[in-house]
Chains A and B, each alone.
Chain A
Amino acid sequence: AQKVTQAQTEISVVEKEDVTLDCVYETRDTTYYLFWYKQPPSGELVFLIRRNSFDEQNEISGRYSWNFQKSTSSFNFTITASQVVDSAVYFCALPKSILTGGGNKLTFGTGTQLKVEL
């Protein structure tokens, strides 16, 4: 069965520090996608990235970067020079297995609460 583990429940950093949020997944599929979402205090999940397992290159978007390592089944998310506005809960997600017809449905990790303080 698909599984997503976000072992870090809560992380606190001081503004301008770099921080990495871990995501480890399990899947039976040979090709798959991975997602990251941000949930600020307002509650609405905001899409950050969708990644295909064929593409193992790291992705960078401004202060955000993602490191995809198929060998260790990890898709980690790094925020460089963190800011107070980065404070949120971050979720990693993996579609349910296409072997069971579930490709449109996501399995979410339990989330990591990031607190960035001044």
Chain B
Amino acid sequence: DVKVTQSSRYLVKRTGEKVFLECVQDMDHENMFWYRQDPGLGLRLIYFSYDVKMKEKGDIPEGYSVSREKKERFSLILESASTNQTSMYLCASSLVPAGGSPDTQYFGPGTRLTVL
């Protein structure tokens, strides 16, 4: 079974702090994703990585950065946390199948971040 783990289920930080959210997958997937989930807005893509050290901005990258130094690990960084970044953060991973068709994304349990 694919396993995607996230470093924390719940996190409370103060405004202005630097926050690291870690995600690890154990299935050798090339693609990794960070989403945030807010009520009434569904899931929105923050960043996407298709290989080590490779990344693409998603729909809402402002205020975030990412790091992928190893294939299995994808980190989301909030350089200076703000209250509007209080949200549920979900990490996912997927293969890159032949032909380029999108493969199934497998999700971690999520991190509920509160910024005070």
Using a CB–CB cutoff of 8 Å, the interface residues on chain A facing chain B are 9, 33, 35, 37, 42-47, 50, 52, 91, 95, 98, 103-106, 108-111
Contact = CB atoms under 8 A, between A and B. Distances in A.
A33 B103 CA distance: 9
Contacts of B33: 105
Contacts, number: 58
B45 interface: yes
B108 A44 contact: yes
Contacts of B9: 43
A38 to B, nearest CB: 11
A92 B41 CA distance: 13
Interface residues of B, number: 29
Nearest to B44: A108
A47 B107 CA distance: 9
B42 to A, nearest CB: 4
A111 B37 CA distance: 10
A91 B101 CA distance: 20
Interface of B: 9, 31, 33, 40-45, 48, 50, 58, 88, 90, 92, 94, 96, 100-110, 112
A64 to B, nearest CB: 16
A105 B58 contact: yes
A111 B96 contact: no
Contacts of B44: 108
Contacts of B109: 42-44
Contacts of A33: 101-102
- A35, A43, A103 — which one has the most chain B CB atoms within 10 A of its CB? A43
B42 A98 contact: no
The 3 A-B residue pairs with the shortest CB-CB distance in the complex, in nearest-first order: A45-B107, A110-B42, A43-B110
